[in-house]
Amino acid sequence: MQIILIAFLAGTVLWLTYWVLVRPIILDSVQNEYRRMRSELDWSIINGLPNSQSLPAKELANDLAYSDLIRWNSIGQAFWVHFTKRAEIKAAVEKEREIFQSSPSWILTMKERDEELTVKASLANSPLWWFPIAVMLVGAIFSRRIAIWWSETKVAAKEIRTEKFPIAAGV
């Protein structure tokens, strides 16, 4: 009985340490990166970089405008939206592919970084999903289908953040 109590207390202390100390640091770093990306995009428009006024740049600016909502994303919400709104997610993936297919490399790099940061914040908010996600990503190495499914889930996480699916975001 004492071992169970000690294990419970140790688990509780570790969980609270993560939730109070580690998670805010991760989310703050993600928000700082988003601020840097927004200012870089703004300076690209001010300096008149090629394609800085194009549709992909405007779409990226629209996505980055919702970056403060990452504190409330979770990977469980992304999975839920991906399963319940499958057609909408596939349409969003195709729309993004059309919009960004002929973009310059600096826009594509920022778009990929946006997806990475969204997933990073979602995973920081969902530590219980880490092990199943790790197993799934190992499966993605060997299966193209799992890799496509994971990329669609990343788009679902971004769609939640941009409030295109407000019910899933708890709004």
pLDDT digits (tens, 9 = 90+) for 33-42: 999 999 999 8
pLDDT digits (tens, 9 = 90+) for 110-151: 999 999 999 999 999 998 888 988 888 888 888 888 888 888
pLDDT digits (tens, 9 = 90+) for 42-67: 898 888 877 778 888 888 888 888 88
SS3 string, 28-83, reads HHHHHHHHHHHHHHHHHHHHCCCCCCCHHHHHHHHHHCCHHHHHHCCHHHHHHHHH
Task: Enter the pTM of the model.
Answer: 0.83
Mean pLDDT of the chain, nearest integer: 87
In the chain, what are the domain boundaries?
Answer: 2-161
Confidence grade of residue 166 (pLDDT, cut at 50, 70, 90): low
